[in-house]
Structure 1
Amino acid sequence: MKLARLLLLAFGPFTNKTLDFSTGSGNLHLIYGPNEAGKSSALRAMTDLRFGIPLRSPDDFVHPAGELRIGGVFIDQAGRPVGLIRRKGRGTTLSGLDVRTEQTDPGFAVDSRLERELTGGLERQEFEAMFGLNHARLREGGAVLLSGEGDLGSALFEASAGTSGIAALLAALDGDAKKLYSQHGRAQNAVINEARRQLDEQRKAWREAQTKPAEWQALNRAHETAKAALDDLTKALETLRRRENELTELRTVEPLLREHDRLAGALQSYAAVPDLSEQQREERLAAEQALQRAQVDLREAEEELARCAAALDGLVIEPLLLDHAEAVERLISGVEAAARNRHEIHQQNSLIAKIEGELELVVERLAPGVDRRTILAAVPSAADRVALEGHLAEVSRLGERLEGYRERAEALDAALQPASALPDTVPDSLHRQALTAALRAGQAQGDVVRQKSELDRRLRELDGRLTLALSELGLESEQALRRSQPLLEAQIAQAKQDLTDIEVQLTKWRDESELVGRDLDGQRLRQRQLAAEGEVVTAETLRQARAKRLEEWTAIRRTYIERTGGTDQLALGFDAAKALPEAFEAAVGEADRQADLLRADTKRAAGLEECSVRIEQMELRRKELAGEMAALRLKRDGLQGAWRQRLTQAGLPDLDPETLREWQGRRHEALQLVERVTALRADRDRLLADAAGSVGAIIEGLRAVGCSPAATQAGEAEQLSALIEQAVRWEQSATEAEAEQQARLKTAHTQRIEREKVGRQVSETEAERRRHLDALQAWHTRLFLAGDALPEALKSRLDELDGLARQASALADAQQRKAQLQAVVDDLMTQAVQVAELLGEAVPRVLDDFADRLRKRLAVSRQHQQEGYALIRERTKAQERKRQAAAVQVTEAALLAGLCTRAKGATIDQLPELEEQAAKKRELRKSLALLRQQLAQASLQSEGELRARLAGLDVPALEGERERCRTEMVRLEQEQAAAQRTEEQARRALEVIDASDRAALAREAMESAAARYRSAIRPWARLKFARSLLQEALNRFRERAQAPMVSAASAYFSLMTGGAYERLVTDEREDRPVLCAQRAGGLTIGIEEMSEGTADQLYLALRLAALELRRPSHPPMPLVLDDTLITSDDARAVNILRALARFAEGSQVMLFTHHRHLLDLARGTIGDHAFVAHHLGDT
């Protein structure tokens, strides 16, 4: 179904975005969107709307996955609008949509028929492959065409199905099949070949593995005897080796036992030594060192205690002074501030005197004879001042406003003076409306010149193509083209099939005749070779000789024995040159001679007889084949005559069926060209007629408004453009004149209204100003001013009173500051008296000296106090160290006593010697334990068993017996080696003829090879069958689609290359049809000689041709292109746009791009009427 509107309700970056594809007259839509504008999401939306939103959709980055919605309005095959909406989810996700409100329609059910129309009966992958093409797929298709070297079947099939790699798939099937089986005898790596070879080898080995039973029994007895002798020698040798190992074991443990006895005796000598731990020595040494350190610490602590007591006695501390230290410090800290305050008091006295003098002068200058307090009382308060300043400000403001109003009134009076009468330049409204309507009608026709040029260009182009098509068809005119009556496809196919069947049968019989002729020549040669070796007697010649002999005997019998014949008749049957007995004897001898020769050389005789029979049969078969071929040729001539007669009746050229099919396809294209030319001529005539009507209407309108139309000799289109331009200029000037007149009238009315308003404002402002001046008269008396003083004098007097008030305030502040400073000095002196009383001292006379002495005494007392605290802490630490040292001394003494107790009452001085003896005792025990471990490792027997076995044996006896065992072992090993060789020879001889094992192995290998053979046959057959089916499908598709598809693709390819390639043709190369391109000069090149860009254009042309041929028999589906022109320059892009515009005449085409200049190229190439532009970035 055709897509009319795409509703991106909630999908990707879009919300309620609509793409309207129903606007415009063309089916070619260019959808432009800059980067990150959502072009990829819009592409996916078109497919998801038809086939469903995937479970893992990449377009849920703005809207939640469960809220994704896509809608669309489609045009079904009956031309009715159908609204559908798709949601993301499971089950049924497609529902109806109201095409007017674009809301979900719950009453509309989507049935299976509508879904089939929506999807075209395709799966998602099939739709994307056939109707979706992006830049990557386009480049891949061009690369496949180049790699396929123009194979016709692959190129057409891949372009039709939207797939790629058919040739590679065929090669892969061949390669996989050859891995299983290869017809070359040397290809042994194939599975079936290798299995066959192994099967033959193992069958031969199996047959050779047969032998006689008697021989096998003799060899078996010899092998058993040799094996028994070898086993006896092996057992004897094992006995000697066990004995030798026992002797070696005894020789090894004998010194260990002696060392064991020595260590046990030494250990017994230390029985009285107490068992002390290995750490006892370290514990004793650590305790002694700790005891010594404790004694030293004790002495040092006692010395530190004595030093601290002496230092404490020498410290001088005043407790009373320290108790009142805070009061003393406050007094000391305030002395410096009191000094500063006394100095500042003197400064404040000077300032007070200065301010009082200045105040007297100011009061005398403002109001002579008036008391200062009275003048200060006249200073207005804050509220009075605000009111006064408000009156002054209003008076000033109203005065300025009144001046402005008066100036504006004078200006308006001057502007409203009567002006000179202006002429009325506005035309009559009816005439202007008529001209405007004619102008809009002319403009609605668009750029008529460009449209006419485009139509003329397309007419020239189509006329050229039509002329070329008629020339290729061999027709002189369009009438001849229309008079021709094409045959049905079934008639052509039937005629082709009949002729093909005859040709196939003729070829078959011709091949058989040639084969029979070659065999006949071979049989004749063989007959001559057999005859060249000597006389050849066959059963036939022997039969003839015997028949002659019987015939002569019968004649003699009838003449001489039965007496039924005469001698004259008898003589007629014999040789006249010989006597009768001799002639009969010769016949008898000849028959006997031939019988002897036949018995002697039966093989050659049989061969000669066989040759004769086969020669006779072959000659008969050749005659039959000649008759059949003559009949077929006669039938073929009859069919060809009937075919020519049918073509003549239909007005068709004399062509064979296959060529006629291609001719009729070109005829159909030529008819389409004729229809397009006729339609373009009608469009051109209609365009010129509309232009002529618009020219007349505009000329009449211009004359009606008093404007003379420009004289021109150009055609209607050019004249219409000039008149539209002139009418637009007149309309602009008329609009400007009308606007100017309306502006003048509006300005005058506005000025009159404003003059009246200004008059009222002048009166209101004068009244307001008088009211404020009256309010200012009461302030003149209060501020000691004359009644006629100006407002500025009031402002100055207020400033003078403000200065007087500030000076009075400064005088009060200075007096208050002085009192504060004096209070601080008096308070500090009071504190000094109180401190002296606390310390029990006399009242100080000089505060600074008293404070300095207190500071020094307090500092000394505090320093000694801190030193006393430090000495007390040190004394406490010394006492603690003394206590700890005494405790450590007691602990370590107890530890040493415990060690002595552990050593069985030994003294401290005896402990080192006992510890050394205990260490030696431990070493002896360790050595004895290690020796016992070595004995256990050297022998599994117990110590008692080893001593019992060594009883009465010494080292020389052990060595002698072991040497004798070794000598006997050497002798037995030599005999064993000889017995092993004998046994091995007997065993090998038995293995050579041992039929059972070899035969079984060979049989097993045969079965394995046969299994591999059988398992590989079925996959190989499937691969060969698949390749044959694919190749047959390619061949059939090529035969069916070659003519129409190549013809349609030729037109598109010529458009895309700008005429550089005239057409596509087929050629035979290496017994296979290939696709070639014919340049404008007639040169034909293969696809492999094209550039990559041209190959891409060819692939696109084949795709468009395949889809065009698909239209009549399948539902219409839109072709969606994604940036397919990204690598094309402007010239190539223009040509491709023309081809797409032609294809869009029968189907909907949507080209997505992020290159804005393609829109300009399309407008300049195919015109705005041929395509519709859409912008994704617009909201």
Structure 2
Amino acid sequence: MKFLTLNLEAYGPFTNSALRFSANGFGLHVVYGPNEAGKSSALRALTNLLYGIPERTQDDFIHQTKHLRIGARIAGNDGATLDIIRRKGRKNTLLDATGQPMDEGALASHLSGVSRETFETLFGISHRTLSEGGRDILRSGGGLGESLFAAGSGIANLRDILDALRAEQDALFTPRGRNQRLNAALTQHAAKVQEARDLATAPRVFEELREEFDRRSAERNAIQRDIDDLTRRVSRLDRLCSARPIILRRDALLAEQAHVANAPLLADDFARRREAAQTALAEQSALRARLAGDVSRLTTDIAALDVPEALLDMAARVEKVATTESAHRKAQLDRPRIEGECAEFRTRATRLLAGLRPDLDLADAGCLRLNRPQRETIRSAGEQLTRATDRQSAAEQAQRDTTRALDTARTALDALPAAPDVTELAATITRAQSFGDLRTRYAEALKEHQTAQKDVQTLLDRLPLWQGDIDKLTALPVPPEESVRTAEADAQRLDDAARTLDTDIDRLRHERLRRAADLEQASSGGTVPDHAELAAARSERDRTWRLVREAWCEKSDAYRAEFETPTALADTFDRRLHEGDATADDMFRHAERVTLRETAQSDLRRIDAELTQLTDQKKRLEREREDFTARWAALWNPCGITPLDPAGMRGWLGMRAEALRHAETLRSRRQTMDGIGDTVRACIDDITACMTALAQPLDADTRLQNAIARAEALVRDAETTRQTRCDMEREIRRLAAEAQTAKAVAEDAATLHEKARLDWKQAIAPLGLASIPAPREAFAALDDITDLFVALDEAASRRTRIDDIDREFAAFSTEVNALTAALAPELTTLRPEDAASQLGVRLNQTRANAEKRALLSAQLADARSALGETETAIARAEAHLRAMCAEANVTTADALPKAETASARRRETEKALREAENQILTFTGTDDPTAFADEVTDTDPDAANAELARLTTERDRAEEQRTALDREIGSLKTRLDALDGRSRAATCAEEAEQVLAGMQTDVDRLVRLRLASAVLTTEIERYRREHQNPVLTRAAKLFSTLTLGSFDGLRADIGEGDEPVLMGTRNGDQRIEVAAMSDGTRDQLYLSLRLAALSHYLDANPPLPFVVDDILVHFDDDRSRATLGVLAELARRTQVIFFTHHTRLCELARDAVPHDLLLELNLPGC
């Protein structure tokens, strides 16, 4: 697929603009536009056309978002074309040429299944992605798989992606970490599980406390029942006492209701309506009186106005003469001035005619009037004669100048020496310059060699435990890295085990001190019986009881073996019974101390056993460390080094490896420097040989820069001499041809001049002049003739204006006289202008009076209408008041306020009665209201208040007892909770499960990250295996081309980590690491890989346009030419669109790209 046209109809800064690409083949299209010309918008337009304009776009700064449009004509791989338009929207955004929606599949078939992301990364490259790709190759150490995969996928920041995956994994979990989220969560979970296991089981005292708790709870429930019964009795008495005043008030309201029962119940707004009706009646009566006065006044004013109807009938005629009066007055004032101007123009005409033809007067001047063709003929003939004269003079002068220049050039050519042949010398200079600035390169190579030498020595000086040169260090028989890693792991294991043992021993010692302190605290408050003493007391009590029961029930005398009399037996049993109960009570009272002492004794026994075990383990670990130290020292004996710990020696090996790498770099720098020196000597020898052959030998110690300068000066001199001779010979040939041409031109000019003179004589004949004037004199006579007839025409115009003034004033005077005779005879004695002005004043006054009469008549009609409406409103208000009297059952309106007062009193009484009934209902509860009211009436209030006070006091005492029991129960509950570890154990187990649940999200994320890393790494390695040979072969050739032969190519090698890496090659077998390349060279390496991967893709897939965004801004001219040539070769297989801000790149493209492949375009508006 390729673009034929890109129509930027409304997008970014563009409006109805287009880019038209080549229709023949693919080609390299260089699109130029200066800064701020819209290059970025055009780049985005290409991608957004194919895949849609994003929801948020930065290209709507001129056109509204809904109006954005991009169009194109594309050609498929089968040659078929497709016209499409892309609009901004969420659906149906792809349109055909007619603006109708079309299926996205029609466009997708041309894209061959390539997604937007693939198109932007694989088929597009910018200076930013080029630089990122070069830096990524450096950061990966030239990793072959990563470099090939990044180039093949177009992902310039692949190393950033891999590092980000690893960093996020390390932030979640590391095998030896502690502060990572999953490591910390695992530690917290283990601590919670151990805490749940360590919680002690409740002692036997717990059951006794539980029985006491249940007994006190039962007592509390019984007291609560008594409080509830007392509360009910207090509540009823309180309701009876509280309802008594309300019931008495209700009885008073019933008596009041009987007095106002016959008063009429008027509406709530009755008083407002009555006041409104009376107010309206008063207002309308006052309005009626005022309107009657207005009618009388307006009638008088209308009768007093004077309006002559005759003047109004002739208003148009009067108005006409009044408006034209000022014009006629002005015309009479202008008439003397116009007569003077007429005489002046006739005098001027007479003077002009005397200068032209003194034999004619003004009456005969018409013979001099020329028509337009005659005037144009005279001017044309005069101009032709002037040009012919000038042309003849110029041709004769040119003929003389050309002949003189030809003679001078022939003389100079004869005096110029011949130029030597410097072709071989120029070729030698070109070969020398093709190597670049060898002096600078040698200086840089020398500086790099010295730097590398200094770096190697610095590393040797910094390397501890050993002294010697780099060669001895290289030959040193150091242990294998695997052995060091194994030893480091063993040392770390021993250190971890030792730290763990020390931590455990310290923890147990601190715990033993705490348990010993607990035991001392439990024993400090006096002797406390333990369970063994309680068991012994109860055993003696039970044994004595068995003797009592045998003596009582079986009549046995076995007790006499121990006791002399039954009384002694009974006394002993009674004493032992009280001793057992006292021991149990004492243990109950000191339950916390008992539990603390027993727990401390048990823990001390356990801690002592664990300390003994850990001490034995520590001794075994110390013996194992001694064996490890001996083996580790023996491993380094061949090197003669007393080693540090394995971690330190691994760092020592790293420093040694770094020194060896710098030594390799030093050797590479030396080879580079020697190669540049050989090239310099070869170039000097070649230039010296050529200069000697041209009789310009060089000194034996001449430097290359001076040799090239002298050789270039010689070449320039020879080329200047040769070019000068060529230029002079070409100039002589040109001058000879010009001399022949000048001679022919002079002859033609003479012939044309004679013809123009004859035409001029014929053209001026109508003027009747005595002699043939020069063209300038004839043109002046034509101007005088023009001025003559202008003056005559102006005089005639003034005469016509005077006649018009006289005629119009006569008609105006006749009309004014007729009007004054009919309308105002007293004005006939005035001048017509003054009479017309007076008639106009009278007409305006009459019109004003007529308008005033009409206005007063309208006001009179409005006043009469309002008076009728007022009479109607008065009648309506009186009828309303009569209806309200009937409603209130009174005869006159004056009695209405009294009726309103009686109605309000009845309404308030009934409302208060209803409120009292509702209040009584709030006290009755479930009782019958009537029975409740009777009970209230029958109850003695003093006796009820006394009973209420007694019951309240009794309830308060019961609540105090309940509060005391609550405190005792709370204390028992606290002691029970302290002895019951099951709740805390359950809490710890629950918290441990919560920790596990909280870890699930991080575990899932860690699994996904590790899976993503594994998949990406596997895919990178698969891509390397499948595409290494074809892509690397092409990239090597491209890399050599792009670096102008500074590198021979690329090679896959094995790096320090036994991983495949990418290296550049020079001189066949010299290998250059990526780290030793310059930034620009790494950019060219990445570009080579990208172009090789794209070419490999095109071997098996249909082509798509390759879009390049100013990637050459940091390339010099030579490497820019080479890159453009490579893009031109790619353009034979797919369309390449190269956007740039730089005109220099356009010039280089014309030089580097074949004309059949290059098409230059400018952004619209440039």
Common fold, TM-score beyond 0.5? yes
Partners of 1:1020 and 1:1003 in 2: CA distance: 26
Tell me whether 1:88 sits opposite 2:115 in the alignment: yes
Q: 1:341 aligns with which of 326, 331, 336?
A: 331
The alpha-carbon deviation at position 776 of structure 1 amounts to 2.5
What is the aligned-residue identity percentage? 15
Could you tell me which residue of structure 2 aligns to residue 248 of structure 1? 241
Tell me whether 1:1005 sits opposite 2:983 in the alignment: yes
1:632-647 aligned at under 5 Å gives the runs none
Task: State the AA in 2 paired with 1:333.
Answer: T
Q: 2:1058 aligns with which of 1113, 1133, 1145?
A: 1113
Could you tell me which residue of structure 1 aligns to residue 302 of structure 2? 312
The alpha-carbon deviation at position 194 of structure 1 amounts to 4.5
Partners of 2:899 and 2:794 in 1: CA distance: 106
Please say if residues 466 and 641 of structure 2, whose CA atoms lie closer than 8 Å, have aligned partners that are also in contact.
no
Task: Please list the CA deviations of residues 548-579 of structure 1 after superposition, one character each: whole Å capped at 9, or x if unmatched.
Answer: xxxxxxxxxxxxxxxxxxxxxxxxxxxxxxxx
Task: Please list the CA deviations of residues 847-901 of structure 1 after superposition, one character each: whole Å capped at 9, or x if unmatched.
Answer: 2343244234323322322232232122112211211111112111211221222
Tell me whether 1:884 sits opposite 2:863 in the alignment: no
Could you tell me which residue of structure 1 aligns to residue 202 of structure 2? 204
| Gap runs ≥5 in structure 1 | 1-9, 18-33, 70-83, 98-112, 138-156, 182-189, 512-620, 1027-1106, 1120-1135
TM-align CA RMSD: 6.4
The alpha-carbon deviation at position 176 of structure 1 amounts to 4.8
Please say if residues 385 and 757 of structure 2, whose CA atoms lie closer than 8 Å, have aligned partners that are also in contact.
yes
Please say if residues 243 and 936 of structure 2, whose CA atoms lie closer than 8 Å, have aligned partners that are also in contact.
yes
The alpha-carbon deviation at position 808 of structure 1 amounts to 0.9
Please say if residues 55 and 88 of structure 1, whose CA atoms lie closer than 8 Å, have aligned partners that are also in contact.
no
Instruction: Between 812-821 and 453-462, report the one with greater CA deviation.
Output: 453-462
Task: Please list the CA deviations of residues 239-267 of structure 1 after superposition, one character each: whole Å capped at 9, or x if unmatched.
Answer: 64255235314523342233223322332
CA distance 1:726–1:168, shift in 2 (3 Å): farther
Partners of 1:478 and 1:974 in 2: CA distance: 102
Could you tell me which residue of structure 1 aligns to residue 806 of structure 2? 822
Partners of 1:1020 and 1:500 in 2: CA distance: 34
Could you tell me which residue of structure 2 aligns to residue 691 of structure 1? 680
Q: Which secondary structure does the structure 2 equivalent of 1:1116 belong to?
A: strand
Q: 1:447 aligns with which of 433, 437, 444?
A: 437
Task: Please list the CA deviations of residues 29-75 of structure 1 after superposition, one character each: whole Å capped at 9, or x if unmatched.
Answer: xxxxx99999999xx9xxx9xxxx999999998999999x9xxxxxx
Tell me whether 1:286 sits opposite 2:251 in the alignment: no
Q: Which secondary structure does the structure 2 equivalent of 1:799 belong to?
A: helix
Could you tell me which residue of structure 2 aligns to residue 264 of structure 1? 257
Partners of 2:993 and 2:663 in 1: CA distance: 63
Task: Please list the CA deviations of residues 658-687 of structure 1 after superposition, one character each: whole Å capped at 9, or x if unmatched.
Answer: 899999988887877776666655555544
CA distance 1:274–1:689, shift in 2 (3 Å): closer
1:497-508 aligned at under 5 Å gives the runs none
The alpha-carbon deviation at position 208 of structure 1 amounts to 1.6
1:92-491 aligned at under 5 Å gives the runs 118=149, 127-129=158-160, 169-172=177-180, 176=185, 179-180=188-189, 191-192=192-193, 194-196=195-197, 199-200=199-200, 203-205=201-203, 207-211=204-208, 230=223, 234=227, 237-238=230-231, 240-268=233-261, 271=262, 273-417=263-407, 420=411, 422=413, 431-460=421-450, 489=480
Could you tell me which residue of structure 2 aligns to residue 895 of structure 1? 880
Could you tell me which residue of structure 1 aligns to residue 750 of structure 2? 766
Q: Which secondary structure does the structure 1 equivalent of 2:260 belong to?
A: helix
Q: 1:793 aligns with which of 774, 777, 785?
A: 777
Partners of 2:847 and 2:947 in 1: CA distance: 107
Task: State the AA in 2 paired with 1:386.
Answer: E
Tell me whether 1:919 sits opposite 2:904 in the alignment: yes
Task: State the AA in 2 paired with 1:703.
Answer: T
Please say if residues 425 and 687 of structure 2, whose CA atoms lie closer than 8 Å, have aligned partners that are also in contact.
yes
Task: Please list the CA deviations of residues 327-356 of structure 1 after superposition, one character each: whole Å capped at 9, or x if unmatched.
Answer: 101011222222222333333333334433
Partners of 2:674 and 2:209 in 1: CA distance: 111
1:1021-1040 aligned at under 5 Å gives the runs none
The alpha-carbon deviation at position 981 of structure 1 amounts to 8.8
Could you tell me which residue of structure 2 aligns to residue 148 of structure 1? none
Could you tell me which residue of structure 2 aligns to residue 949 of structure 1? 935
Could you tell me which residue of structure 2 aligns to residue 1091 of structure 1? none
1:722-1121 aligned at under 5 Å gives the runs 722-832=706-816, 835=819, 839=823, 844=828, 846-940=831-925, 944-950=930-936, 953=938, 958-966=940-948, 968-969=950-951, 972-973=954-955, 976=958, 1002=980, 1004-1005=982-983, 1008=986, 1011=989, 1113-1116=1058-1061
CA distance 1:831–1:767, shift in 2 (3 Å): farther
Please say if residues 237 and 969 of structure 1, whose CA atoms lie closer than 8 Å, have aligned partners that are also in contact.
yes
CA distance 1:428–1:480, shift in 2 (3 Å): farther
Task: Please list the CA deviations of residues 86-131 of structure 1 after superposition, one character each: whole Å capped at 9, or x if unmatched.
Answer: 943599999999xxxxxxxxxxxxxxx9999626999999942488
CA distance 1:704–1:866, shift in 2 (3 Å): same
1:615-634 aligned at under 5 Å gives the runs none
CA distance 1:335–1:754, shift in 2 (3 Å): same
Task: Please list the CA deviations of residues 515-552 of structure 1 after superposition, one character each: whole Å capped at 9, or x if unmatched.
Answer: xxxxxxxxxxxxxxxxxxxxxxxxxxxxxxxxxxxxxx
Partners of 1:480 and 1:968 in 2: CA distance: 114
Partners of 2:816 and 2:899 in 1: CA distance: 84
Please say if residues 266 and 888 of structure 2, whose CA atoms lie closer than 8 Å, have aligned partners that are also in contact.
yes
Task: State the AA in 1 paired with 2:782.
Answer: L
Q: Which secondary structure does the structure 2 equivalent of 1:898 belong to?
A: helix
Task: State the AA in 1 paired with 2:931.
Answer: E
Could you tell me which residue of structure 1 aligns to residue 1010 of structure 2? none
Partners of 1:726 and 1:116 in 2: CA distance: 47
TM-score, with length taken from structure 2: 0.57
CA distance 1:443–1:384, shift in 2 (3 Å): same
Could you tell me which residue of structure 1 aligns to residue 696 of structure 2? 707
The alpha-carbon deviation at position 466 of structure 1 amounts to 6.7
CA distance 1:64–1:192, shift in 2 (3 Å): farther
Please say if residues 298 and 885 of structure 1, whose CA atoms lie closer than 8 Å, have aligned partners that are also in contact.
yes
| Gap runs ≥5 in structure 2 | 1-7, 14-18, 22-33, 61-67, 75-110, 125-143, 502-615, 1005-1051, 1065-1072, 1089-1108, 1127-1137, 1146-1166
Please say if residues 394 and 772 of structure 1, whose CA atoms lie closer than 8 Å, have aligned partners that are also in contact.
yes
The alpha-carbon deviation at position 767 of structure 1 amounts to 2.4
Please say if residues 381 and 759 of structure 2, whose CA atoms lie closer than 8 Å, have aligned partners that are also in contact.
yes
CA distance 1:319–1:169, shift in 2 (3 Å): farther
Please say if residues 87 and 94 of structure 1, whose CA atoms lie closer than 8 Å, have aligned partners that are also in contact.
no
Instruction: Between 292-301 and 326-335, report the one with greater CA deviation.
Output: 292-301
Partners of 2:1062 and 2:895 in 1: CA distance: 117
Partners of 2:771 and 2:854 in 1: CA distance: 88
CA distance 1:164–1:748, shift in 2 (3 Å): farther
Partners of 1:796 and 1:353 in 2: CA distance: 25
Could you tell me which residue of structure 1 aligns to residue 136 of structure 2? none
Partners of 2:248 and 2:852 in 1: CA distance: 81
Aligned length: 815
CA distance 1:998–1:754, shift in 2 (3 Å): same
